[in-house]
Amino acid sequence: MERFTVSLDDGLAQQFGEFMAQHGYNNRSEAVRDLIRSRLEQERLQQPVAEGYCVGTLTYVYNHHERELASRVTQSHHNHHDLTVAMQHVHLDHDNCLETVILRGPVQSVQAFADQVISSPGIRHGRLHLIPVDAEPASHTHGKAPYAPQFQHLHFRPIT
């Protein structure tokens, strides 16, 4: 681990202290690490052609009574089943639903899918949060039996 010193003017130091208190940080180092990590991830994912893999969440609200909106959103998820890991559906009231979707895959594909959902008429408060990951091919058995099949899959590790 590398140590370095940061000098802040009084106003910025006060804002940083308030930020730490508001978010429950007990020490400056952890707060600075999280801020740097977040900014580096944002920069990497906002490159014109972001490469590599990511995991993330897509969150949005919609009125399930709007003409065929729920079925269009569901069909979009089925069309991209390779990216959707899991979904949580919450009824906010008698009309509005909140959905949070866990996504995993190539950055460009995940971003394109999220853009398609968020830009759909009737979707409100759409947000995508991505975390860049390294994807490592893996193969091992899940079980102890000598005949247990080997499964080919990817392991995802956060980059920062």
Q: Does 91 carry a binding-site annotation? A: yes
Q: How far apart are CA 58 and CA 129, in angstroms?
A: 7
Please, which residues bridge with residue 89 across strands? 99
3-state SS track over 17-76: HHHHHHHCCCCHHHHHHHHHHHHHHHHHHCCCCCCCEEEEEEEEEEECCCCCHHHHHHHH
Q: Does 89 carry a binding-site annotation? A: yes
**Phi, psi of 151, deg, nearest 5:** -110, 125
Binding residues for Ni(2+): 78, 89, 91, 97
Binding residues: 78, 89, 91, 97
